[in-house]
C-alpha cells in the first residue's frame, strides 16, 4: 500500500489492484510510510553543506516519485537565488518556500528557507504535498510556524516507566546511554521534524533530582547529539529541591543566594555538555512536588531564579500553572488562576507559564482555561495531553484533533477577536516567546503510540502547534492518506470515524460537562461513586455533586463563582444555564434532574440519550472499520478491529456503571427504549484493576 503513494496519483488506481493489502505493516513507519525507501533517486543538490541538509536531501532522494524534477536545496540568502524574489521576512527562522524555478538554466524544484532547518521542513512539506495527492506540476508551498516552541513533554521516569504511558516502556534506554544510541532515537527525531516539532522534554515533570547529575546529563547530551540535525532541542524537567537532594544545601529557597548559585553552576554544567540545551520545565507545589511556596516565596520567585541561571546561555523556563489545594481550599477549577493571575508582569522575559487546556485536568471535555487571556504580560504556552489518560488509554479510538481545535479556537473574550490560539502564538500580546506543549504518547511499542490511530494524535499535535489555524478535519485526512494510502474509500471512512470519535468518548464517559468521574489512581473505567479519598478534590462526587434533586457543579455566583475568572462576555454566557453550551452545562451549573432543555427533554433524558449515543457511535465505528478489511493490511486492520471491540465493551461498561449509579442517586427510571444496565451497581463498584498501565502508584 505504501509503495503506491510513492508512484504518484496517476498510478494509484492501477497499482491498487496489484497491491496486496494482506501485506503486514507493523506501523513502525508512522505517517512517513515504510516505503519511503523506495523513491526513484531523483537528483537532489544542495548549495551548502550541513547534517540537516543531508537529511533533507536523503529524505527527498529516497521518496520522490520517478519523473519529479531535480531538487535544489538552498538558503534564501544564497547567491544562486539572486533572481528569485524570496520574501525573507515571511520565512522567519524556521519557515520554508517550495516552488518550481529555473536556476542556472535548469528547471528545478527549489526548497528554500532562511535556515537549514527551514529547508528540512520544506522538504517534508513537499513530500506531504505529493503524498496527499497534491499536483506535482504545480508546486508553490510556503509556511512559517506560528509558535516558537513546539514541544513534547515525556512523562518518562528514569526506571523506564512512563507515567500515563500506554505504549510500552520509555523510548529512552537510560541504562545503555550514552554509549548506545538506539537507531530509534533518530527515527523519533525524524518523525518529529516531519511535523515541525522542535523540542522535547526528556523526563517526567514529577522529576527526580538524579536527572540533573553528571551521568544523566551525559545521557541527555547523547540524545541531544542525535536530535540536533533534526532541529530538536532537549529540555529537562527540574526538581525544585535538587539543590538539597544532590547539591548538599540545606534549602532550596529561591531567594537564597547559595541556591541561585547552585542552579547557575548546574546550568553552566549542562550547557557545557549540551550547548543548545533548551531549558527547564518545572512542576512546583503541585501534587506533592516541592517548590518556592515551601519557603513562602512565589511561583515567580522560583521561575525567575531558574530563568536567570539559563539566561546567559539563551535558555528558557516553562513553569507549569497546574497547581491546586496548595494554598487554597476552594473549587479546584479556580486555583491556578487565583495563584497565577496576580503574578502577571512579574516573570522574567525568558519564562513561559505553561497552562493546561482546561482548568482541571485533561478531561475528555473542559472549557478553556480561564488563564488564557488573563495574563497578557506573560507568554503562555498551552499544554495538551496527547496520551489518553482520560480517554480510554491506548485502546479507545479517540482522535484528539477536534478537542485541540475546540480549545485553540475558543474566544477568550478579553479582547475582540482574541482566541486561545492568538494568546499562545504570542500574537495577541506581542510576545516573541510562544508555544504549545503536548504530553507524549510515545513508547517502545513497535508502533510507537500503542495503536495506529494514536499516531494521528501525535501528528495532529505537531501540525497544530506549527499552525493552530489548520483544521482538524483536513489534518485527519492528511494523516490518513500518508498512513493508509490514497484509496478514497479508506480515506473517507477513516476520516469519518476519526471526526466523531472524541465526542463518542465524551458521551459514554461524562456527557453534558461532567468531569473527573474516573476510578481512583489509574483512571481506567468509571468511579462516579468514589467518595472516600482523603482530599475532597480527589473524589468524583466532589465534581458531579449529584443528589436526589440534581447534578452538576455550581460555578456561578451562587456557587464557587469560577465563571468570574473569565472575561465578562464569556463569564456572562457561562453564568446562565440557558446560554451555556450543552456540552459544558454541568461544568458550570447544578440543575434539577427534571430541568427542561431547549429541545423539551429533561436533563435526565438528555443525559441517558448521550450515554446511549456514545455506545452506538462505537458500534458504528466498528462496523465502518469492518468494511475496510480487504483494503488495509492485515496487521494494522486486525489490531484496530480488536481494539474497537475492547472499546465497545468498555463504552457499554462506562454507560451501564454510570447510569446504575445515577439511578441509585436520583431514584429515576430509564426513559423508554433505553436498556437497563447489564449488572447491578455493586458489581461495578467492586471491580479492581491493580496492574492497569500508566499508574505511578
Looking at the annotation, which residues are catalytic?
A: 287, 361, 389
In the complex with ligand GCW, which residue's Cβ is closer, 47 or 206?
A: 206
According to DSSP, the β-strands at 550-551 and 591-592 are antiparallel
Which listed residue (361, 429, 478, 554) binds ligand GCW by CB under 6 A? Answer: 361
Minimal distance in Å, beta carbon 289 to ligand GCW? 8
Does residue 163 touch ligand GCW according to CB under 6 A? yes
Per rule CB under 6 A, is residue 206 in the interface with ligand GCW? yes
In the complex with ligand GCW, the residue whose CB is nearer, 559 or 696, is 696
Least Å from the CB of residue 377 to ligand GCW: 25
Cβ proximity of 130 and 118 under 8 Å: no
> In whole angstroms, what is the distance from residue 131 CA to residue 383 CA?
30
Which of 172, 216, 362, 461 contacts ligand GCW by CB under 6 A? 362
393 binds ligand GCW (CB under 6 A): no
Among 636, 641, 653, 695, which Cα is nearest to 23's?
636
Nearer to ligand GCW, 375 or 391 (CB): 391
Q: Say if CB 182 and CB 173 are below 8 A apart.
A: yes
156 binds ligand GCW, rule: CB under 6 A: no
- Nearest approach, Cβ of residue 578 and ligand GCW (Å): 32
Whole-number Å distance between alpha carbons of 511 and 364: 9
Q: Which of residues 27-66 bind ligand GCW (CB under 6 A)?
A: none
Nearer to ligand GCW, 115 or 441 (CB): 441
Which residue number places its CB atom closest to ligand GCW? Answer: 361
Residue placing its CB nearer to ligand GCW in the complex, 163 or 612? 163
Beta carbons of 676 and 670 less than 8 angstroms apart:
yes
Q: How far is the CB of 206 from ligand GCW (least distance, A)?
A: 5
Q: Which of 205, 323, 355, 607 binds ligand GCW (CB under 6 A)?
A: 205
* Listed residue (650, 681, 647) closest to 665, CA to CA: 681
Instruction: For ligand GCW, give the closer residue by CB, 287 or 547.
Output: 287
Q: Which cell numbers in the block locate residue 494?
A: 477513516
- Residue pair 562/554 in contact (Cβ under 8 Å)? The answer is no
- Phi, psi for residue 435 in degrees, rounded to 5: 175, 170
Give the integer Cα–Cα distance in Å for 165 and 157: 11
How many residues in total does the chain contain? 697
User: Considering only residues 322, 372, 553, 643, which one is a binding residue for ligand GCW as defined by CB under 6 A?
Assistant: 322
- Which residue in 96, 124, 155, 566 binds ligand GCW (CB under 6 A)? 155
- Cα(489)–Cα(480) distance, rounded to whole angstroms? 11
Cβ proximity to ligand GCW, 230 vs 362, nearer residue: 362
Per CB under 6 A, the list member of 6, 69, 164, 293 interacting with ligand GCW is 164
Out of 69, 283, 500, 502, point to the residue binding ligand GCW (CB under 6 A). Answer: 283
Cα 450 to Cα 263: distance, rounded to the nearest angstrom: 38
- Side-chain half-sphere exposure of 614, counting CA atoms within 13 A: 31
Of 191, 274, 687, residue with least CA distance to 456: 191
Residue 296 CB partners (closer than 8 Å, separation 6+):
none
**By CB under 6 A, what part of segment 599-628 binds ligand GCW?**
none
Closer of 201 and 571 to ligand GCW (Cβ): 201
Q: How far is the CB of 307 from ligand GCW (least distance, A)?
A: 21
Residue 357 vs 451, nearer CB to ligand GCW: 357
Of 182, 271, 265, 183, which Cα lies nearest the Cα of 233? Answer: 271
Asked if residue 208 binds ligand GCW (CB under 6 A), the reply is no
Residues in the interface with ligand GCW (CB under 6 A) total 12
| Least distance in angstroms from the C-beta of 380 to ligand GCW | 16
What own/partner pairs with CB < 8 Å and gap ≥ 24 does 38-42 have? 38/3, 38/6, 38/62, 38/63, 39/6, 39/63, 39/64, 39/65, 40/64, 40/65, 40/66, 40/67, 40/68, 42/66, 42/68, 42/69, 42/70, 42/71
CB of 356 to ligand GCW, least distance (A): 7
CB of 320 to ligand GCW, least distance (A): 7
d(CA 392, CA 364): 10
Residue ranges in contact with ligand GCW by CB under 6 A? 155, 163-164, 205-206, 283, 287, 322, 361-362, 389, 696
Amino acid at each position: 500500500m505504501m509503495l503506491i503513494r510513492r508512484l504518484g496519483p496517476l498510478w494509484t488506481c492501477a497499482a491498487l489492484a496489484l497491491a496486496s493489502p494482506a501485506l503486514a505493516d507493523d506501523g513502525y513507519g508512522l505517517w512517513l510510510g515504510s516505503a519511503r525507501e523506495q523513491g526513484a533517486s531523483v537528483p537532489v543538490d544542495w548549495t551548502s553543506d550541513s547534517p540537516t541538509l543531508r537529511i533533507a536531501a536523503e529524505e527527498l532522494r529516497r521518496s520522490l516519485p520517478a519523473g519529479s524534477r531535480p531538487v535544489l536545496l538552498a538558503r534564501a540568502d544564497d547567491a544562486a537565488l539572486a533572481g528569485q524574489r524570496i520574501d525573507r521576512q515571511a520565512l522567519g527562522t524556521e519557515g520554508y518556500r517550495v516552488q518550481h524555478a529555473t536556476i542556472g538554466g535548469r528547471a528545478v524544484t527549489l526548497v528554500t528557507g532562511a535556515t537549514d532547518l527551514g529547508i528540512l521542513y520544506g522538504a517534508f512539506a513537499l513530500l506531504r504535498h505529493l503524498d496527499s495527492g497534491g499536483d506535482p506540476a504545480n508546486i508553490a508551498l510556503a509556511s512559517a510556524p506560528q509558535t516558537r516552541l513546539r514541544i513534547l513533554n515525556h512523562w518518562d521516569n528514569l526506571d523506564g516507566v512512563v507515567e500515563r504511558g500506554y505504549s510500552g516502556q520509555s523510548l529512552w534506554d537510560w541504562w545503555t546511554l550514552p554509549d548506545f544510541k538506539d537507531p530509534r532515537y533518530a527515527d523519533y527525531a525524524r518523525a518529529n521534524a516531519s511535523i515541525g516539532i522542535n523540542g522535547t522534554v526528556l523526563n517526567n515533570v514529577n522529576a527526580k533530582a538524579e536527572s540533573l547529575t553528571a551521568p544523566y546529563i551525559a545521557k541527555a547530551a547523547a540524545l541531544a547529539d542525535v536530535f540536533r540535525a533534526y532541529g530538536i532541542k532537549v529540555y529537562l524537567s527540574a526538581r525544585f529541591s535538587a539543590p538539597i537532594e544532590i547539591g548538599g544545601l540545606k534549602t532550596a529557597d529561591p531567594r537564597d543566594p547559595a541556591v541561585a548559585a547552585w542552579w547557575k553552576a548546574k546550568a553552566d554544567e549542562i550547557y557545557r555538555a549540551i550547548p543548545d540545551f533548551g531549558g527547564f520545565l518545572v512542576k512546583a507545589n503541585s501534587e506533592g512536588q516541592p517548590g518556592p511556596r515551601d519557603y513562602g516565596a512565589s511561583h515567580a520567585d522560583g521561575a525567575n531564579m531558574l530563568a536567570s541561571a539559563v539566561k546567559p546561555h539563551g535558555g528558557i523556563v516553562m513553569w507549569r500553572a497546574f497547581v491546586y489545594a496548595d494554598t487554597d481550599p476552594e473549587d479546584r477549577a479556580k486555583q491556578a488562576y487565583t495563584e497565577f493571575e496576580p503574578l502577571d508582569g512579574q516573570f522574567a522575559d525568558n519564562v513561559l507559564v505553561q497552562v493546561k487546556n482546561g482548568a482541571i485536568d485533561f478531561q475528555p471535555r473542559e472549557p478553556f482555561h480561564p488563564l488564557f487571556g488573563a495574563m497578557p504580560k506573560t507568554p503562555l504556552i498551552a499544554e495538551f495531553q496527547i496520551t489518553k489518560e482520560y480517554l480510554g488509554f491506548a485502546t479507545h479510538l479517540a482522535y484528539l484533533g477536534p478537542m485541540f481545535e475546540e480549545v485553540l479556537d475558543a474566544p477568550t473574550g478579553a479582547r475582540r477577536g482574541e482566541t486561545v490560539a492568538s494568546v499562545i502564538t504570542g500574537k495577541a500580546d506581542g510576545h516573541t516567546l510562544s508555544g504549545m506543549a503536548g504530553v507524549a504518547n510515545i513508547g517502545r511499542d513497535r508502533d510507537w503510540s500503542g495503536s495506529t490511530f494514536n499516531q494521528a494524535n501525535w501528528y495532529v499535535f505537531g501540525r497544530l502547534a506549527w499552525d493552530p489555524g489548520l483544521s482538524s478535519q483536513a489534518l485527519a485526512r492528511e494523516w490518513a492518506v500518508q498512513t493508509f494510502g490514497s484509496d478514497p474509500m479508506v480515506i473517507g471512512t477513516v476520516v469519518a470515524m476519526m471526526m466523531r470519535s472524541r465526542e463518542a468518548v465524551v458521551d459514554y464517559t461524562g456527557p453534558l460537562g461532567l468531569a473527573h468521574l474516573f476510578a481512583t489512581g489509574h483512571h481506567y473505567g468509571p468511579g462516579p461513586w468514589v467518595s472516600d479519598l482523603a482530599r475532597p478534590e480527589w473524589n468524583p462526587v466532589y465534581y458531579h455533586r449529584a443528589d436526589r434533586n440534581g447534578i452538576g457543579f455550581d460555578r456561578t455566583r451562587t456557587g464557587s463563582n469560577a465563571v468570574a475568572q473569565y472575561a465578562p462576555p464569556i463569564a456572562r454566557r457561562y453564568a446562565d444555564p440557558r446560554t451555556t453550551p450543552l456540552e459544558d452545562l454541568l461544568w458550570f451549573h447544578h440543575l434539577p434532574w427534571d430541568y427542561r432543555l431547549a429541545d423539551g427533554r429533561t436533563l435526565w433524558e438528555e443525559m441517558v440519550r448521550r450515554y446511549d449515543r456514545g455506545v452506538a457511535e462505537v458500534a458504528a465505528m466498528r462496523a465502518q472499520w469492518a468494511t475496510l478489511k480487504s483494503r488495509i493490511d492485515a496487521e494494522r486492520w486486525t489490531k484496530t478491529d480488536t481494539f474497537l471491540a475492547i472499546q465497545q465493551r468498555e463504552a457499554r461498561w462506562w454507560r451501564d456503571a454510570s447510569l446504575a449509579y445515577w439511578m441509585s442517586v436520583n431514584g429515576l427510571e430509564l426513559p423508554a427504549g433505553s436498556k437497563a444496565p447489564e449488572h447491578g451497581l455493586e458489581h461495578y463498584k467492586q471491580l479492581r484493576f491493580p496492574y492497569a498501565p500508566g499508574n505511578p502508584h
